[in-house]
Structure 1
């Protein structure tokens, strides 16, 4: 899961850039100067107070925004929810390395170019820890807020994603059950079965078995987020068998490289069935216009490709809910994306095979 944390310091919006690099550092620097150099202001030492303000402003700008940029870059590489220990260690290390160097840079510039004093002498007399103690304390507070904010945003996004996944699963169950149990599917299946009973009793028995397997699969896995790829392919073949009986040689389904599976390979349930259902739903299937569907495994993806025979009558629902449902479920489950390619003659959908370590 990619991090959803966004750093305002690298935002493209001018208002946030001004707030991050000017307004907030100025107000923070002013507060620090009032705390430590209020006597200078009261005594009328305005130049010294202004110098103190500029130093505080520089500290705030470099430390706050620098650490925010570091937090942003680390969050992009190591998300809190996926690598919590590594994220905490690297985040802490980044702060501890960057902050002292940035603090010493500000102090060096102030001592050398404003006060005109040899920085080496000041460093020898005061010591490194004494020079950076205050800015480091402020940095720790700012960094804790930044890291905590990043963790909270990722946690909140994860909670939102889980809720969305639940909704998508409910929608998926509705779609899959509707496509299988709707009166049209049942009517067509019973019509095909009626013909088979008289023409080929053996095939009629096989048809009933496959129809039972289709219904059983949908009922067994309607609450699952993923199923094994092997089970999904077996279910798909049962579904294709039923439709082959209905359409005969006018429907051609070709399987390639779909005979080898690993136990950890999985896929959202009824994904492949939805893709085949879409092919059948949105294309004319007749003696004049055969529908050819190729289902092939290519590396870690399943590619479903069909020729396009546009339906001349607008009797079919073309809302694309099935395909949108598949894309949405993959977005919730994995960073891998469903790819859709369409040309005047072919329609291709590539769905990733998911692998979850036990």
Structure 2
């Protein structure tokens, strides 16, 4: 606790001296700008000292007011969300702040110099004296406003990029988790049986399996993939399953437009795996899966012949995974339709900006 208090005290002390040095530097800059000849002699420095104090007081008040205003508005009117409203409110507050404090300080300084009596206050003359500090103050305020705007936009861009990276990382980690490890073991079991049954089938099975896992590795770092690539992967996956299920699985693909359309990677694999996992596929009741395009949607449907075990009746996590990824990527979401005879999922086909 003592260490924390000591650390806080040091920070406050350091911030205080930074504040003093900054405003002293601004006051010195103004003296150099407005009265360079004052720096050539000791007498000139003595004459410039009241103006230095005057500039320091105005700069301190305005910088503190700007700091307070920015902190207040950053939480209520952030630049990123309300740029025009923030600019208008900032301009009004800064101008009012500049006018009020400049006028008060001019009033005090001129009075201390003995240039008027309280019984005869030259309001118009004081207003004339205030014009220059107001203009200078507003110039500095404009600089700090631009600085605040740039910092907030930069921080917002950094946060958005970090969030995007985290989402993508989480998304693809989820995808890797979604790829059922049992699928690989089942595939190896099927392969071990095929080796004894048919060398040709086992070779075909290995070829399809290698294509599937090559694709999985290729798209792990991608946010979207072209529809043609995803369909090609789906065909490899279904062909692998056809070897496994022999005549118990049938599929049909009907697409007419590939160019310019994109999907979250492995979306089709999750839907196809979901259909195969939760439905009966036998020679007597072959499982039929259809993939077709309707305008800007990819329709994946399968004949509904659900398995009766509790494990197979569970919804699983494939569909929620796809829905969450669409929520991250766009304002569209998949549509899920279940009828007495079919299970249908409509995936929105996404387009890249500018295409």
Aligned twin of 1:252: 250
Task: Say yes or no: does 1:353 pair with 2:349.
Answer: yes
CA distance in 2, matches of 1:187, 1:238: 18
Q: 2:286 aligns with which of 284, 287, 290?
A: 290
Asked if residue 330 in structure 1 is aligned to residue 330 in structure 2, the reply is: no
Tell me what 2:186 maps to. 188
For normalisation by structure 1, the TM-score amounts to 0.53
- The offset of 1:336, in angstroms, is 2.2
Larger radius of gyration: 2
The farther-off stretch of 283-292 and 167-176 is 167-176
- Partners of 2:160 and 2:280 in 1: CA distance: 38
Deviation of 1:172 (Å): 3.7
Shift of 1:337: 2.1
Q: How far did residue 269 of structure 1 move?
A: 0.5
For the structure 1 residues 197 and 168, does the alpha-carbon distance in structure 2 shift closer, same or farther, using more than 3 Å as the test? same
**Residue 340 (structure 2) aligns with:** 344
Normalised to the residue count of structure 2, the TM-score between the two structures is 0.53
* Counterpart Cα distance in 2 of 1:304 and 1:198: 35
Contact 1:340–1:350 at 8 Å: present in 2 too?
A: yes
| Structure 1: unaligned runs, 5 residues or longer | 1-79, 82-86, 96-147
1:255-286 CA deviation, whole Å, 9 max, x = no partner? 1126x421x32111001111111111222222
8 Å contact kept, 1:168–1:325: no
- Note if contact 1:175-1:322 (Cα within 8 Å) is conserved in structure 2: no
SS at match of 1:340: strand
Question: What RMSD, in angstroms, separates the aligned Cα atoms of the two structures?
Answer: 4.2
Secondary structure in 2 matching 1:293: strand
- SS of the equivalent of 2:309 reads coil
Is 1:179–1:185's contact at 8 Å kept on the other side of the alignment? Answer: no
Following TM superposition, the consecutive aligned residue runs of length 4 or more in structure 1 with deviations greater than 3 angstroms are 158-172, 178-181
- Residue 306 to residue 190, structure 1, CA distance change in 2 (3 Å): same
**d(CA) in 2 for partners of 1:344, 1:276:** 19
Give distance in 2, aligned partners of 1:315 and 1:232: 28
Number of residue pairs the alignment of both structures matches: 229
Summarize the Cα distance change of 1:304–1:323 in structure 2 as closer, same or farther, 3 Å threshold. Answer: same
Query: In structure 2, how many angstroms separate the alpha carbons of the residues matched to 1:283 and 1:161?
Result: 41
The 3 A distance-change label for structure 1 pair 204 and 166 is same
Change (3 A) 1:287 1:160: farther
**Does the 8 A contact of 2:201 with 2:243 survive in 1?**
no
SS of the counterpart of 1:304?
A: strand
2:231 equivalent in structure 1:
233
In structure 2, do the counterparts of structure 1 residues 162 and 300 end up closer, same or farther at CA, with 3 Å as the change threshold?
Answer: farther
C-alpha distance in 1 between matches for 2:203 and 2:233: 17
Could you tell me whether the CA contact under 8 Å between 1:250 and 1:289 is conserved in 2?
yes
Distance 2:317 2:229 in 1: 24
What is the DSSP-based 3-state SS (H/G/I as helix, E as strand, rest coil) of the residue aligned with 2:310?
coil
Aligned residue for 2:176?
A: 177
Counterpart CA distance in 1 for 2:255 and 2:223 is: 25
Between the aligned partners of 2:300 and 2:177, the Cα distance in structure 1 is 22
Select the structure with the greater relative contact order (CA < 8 A; seq sep ≥ 6).
1
175 and 250 in structure 1: CA distance in 2 versus 1, 3 angstrom threshold:
farther
> Is contact 2:178–2:317 with CA below 8 Å preserved after alignment?
no
